[in-house]
Amino acid sequence: MSTRDDIVVIGLGGDGRGDDAAGLEVVRRLRGCLSSSVVIVESAGDPAQLVEAWTGARLAVVIDAVSSGAAPGTVHRRTGVEGGPSWHGSSHSFGLSDAVDLGRALGRMPAQLIVIGVEGGDFTIGAPITPPVLSAIDVLVRELEERFRQDSP
């Protein structure tokens, strides 16, 4: 469980399924680069784990790979908790939607929730992360590093 001033960055995904590891890769690159007020979490998308990770946080950022039909590497952003993610097709979006529902029911939502979806192109078992998704990961890591430098408690 987080403290009230924490920022929590949660990467969802599965290793060994190509672009599905996008969220995990973002948080792995951020680990050790941010202040101690930023909690980094890797998750396979278990709703209870997500609720536990963001409870009490002033800001939770959840990053996941998605498949909405947009070009691979497209970055989707959604702020707020109303209705869950605005795209479909993530192998974890059901878990994330469940986590939002569970967090609301228990009164355990972060003060602010940002969901970032990275459009994947290849989710084949054993595939590497594709170049367009790697490029999006690079951009997201730089953006999040900059944001958290400016947004420290």
Tens of pLDDT, residue by residue over 39-90, are: 999 999 899 999 999 999 999 999 999 998 999 999 999 987 554 444 444 5
Cα–Cα distance measured from residue 80 to residue 135, given in angstroms and rounded to the nearest whole number: 26
pTM above 0.95, yes or no: no
Report whether pLDDT(26) > 90: yes
The bridge status of strand 113-119 relative to strand 75-79 is: antiparallel
Q: Is the confidence at residue 32, as pLDDT, over 80?
A: yes
CB neighbours of residue 84 within 10 Å: 19
User: 133, 22 in Cβ contact below 8 A?
Assistant: yes
Average pLDDT over residues 111-124: 95
